[in-house]
Amino acid sequence: MSTGVKLSDECIPACEALKLKKVGRYVAFKLSDAKDKIEVEEVGDRSVTYADFHAKLPKDSCRYYLFDFEWKDGDRDCAKLIFLNWTPDTSPVKAKMMAAGSKDAL
């Protein structure tokens, strides 16, 4: 399902900076007020932990996140980029439908 929502110009550079240059711990994306594009809301500081990130998730609005998750596996340092489509149960139904239909743009 496509909603016709486009990416704003800053989305791709923000994703590439997180992936390649390790700028920040996560990138938060949201639908614009006009609901016609996805824009960068915030780039989280590199010192943010997953627990800090989880505590900042909005209780009633939809967001998309790209999170750089790092952990240790024995002696080895591991990292994965995680895409999170955040749609809490308390969000309005229309917002959930827009978020689900627009995530393919990212």
The predicted-structure confidence for 43-99, as pLDDT tens digits, reads as follows 999 999 989 999 999 999 999 999 999 999 999 999 999 999 999 999 999 988 988
Share of the chain residues as helix, strand and coil, in percent rounded to the nearest 5? 30, 35, 35
With 0.75 as the threshold, say if the pTM is over it.
Answer: yes
Cα distance between residue 29 and residue 66, in whole Å: 8
